Amino acid sequence: RARLLQNGKPVAPRRRKQAQRLAALMWRAELALAALRRRSELALALAALRGREEAQSLAALIPRAGLAALSARARLVALSARAGLAALSAMAGLAALSARVG
């Protein structure tokens, strides 16, 4: 059975459990980030496939409906029309995260 060491000394059982929980939490966070990355790449591909007309019509909806009313995919397409792929790649993860949380 492996023991966790801190500064070369065995860690108390309570601290060991805390460290194991933290490691498990970090692992789940990494998995969630990888999933978000895949979703944002998928959304980028969808936005690239959509015509500029659809993107521009969605961008025109933003002042009327507000960003919250639009779906995450529509926001990504609208962002691609407005600011190009640089802003889209930066915002894709945030849009997917906001869709997942909200």
80: domain range? 5-101
Q: Name the domain count of the chain.
A: 1
pLDDT of residue 5: 64
pTM comes to 0.34
Burial (CB count within 10 angstroms: exposed 0-12, middle 13-18, buried 19+), residue 67:
middle
Given pLDDT bands bounded at 50, 70 and 90, which one contains residue 28? confident
Query: 31-45, 46-60, 78-92: which has the minimum mean pLDDT?
Result: 78-92
